[in-house]
Amino acid sequence: MRHIAIFYCCFHRLTALNPSRSLNVDLPFSDVLVSVSLDDLLPRVLHLCKESADRKTRVAACEALNSIVLMIIGR
């Protein structure tokens, strides 16, 4: 839980410094390149990780957060 809070704070500091800068991830598929904006998705996933009462939802959100972090680090 502490790691999620630290990541959340770092994410908000980065976006607060330059609000016009967006966080995008490109997902290459066999026939198209999809650009996904994480600006709206990441706060919702973080909220579900921290606040969801349903264990399955929390686990799925944490797995999604793990995948997002790995995509960001892999850039």
* Mean pLDDT, rounded, of the chain: 78
Closest CA to 72 of 50, 47, 39: 39
Domain that holds residue 30: 2-73
pLDDT, block means (10 residues), the chain with 75 residues: 61 55 81 86 86 92 87 74
Q: What percent of the chain stands above pLDDT 90?
A: 20
Closest CA to 43 of 17, 2, 12, 13: 12
Predicted model pTM: 0.66
Q: How many domains does the chain have?
A: 1
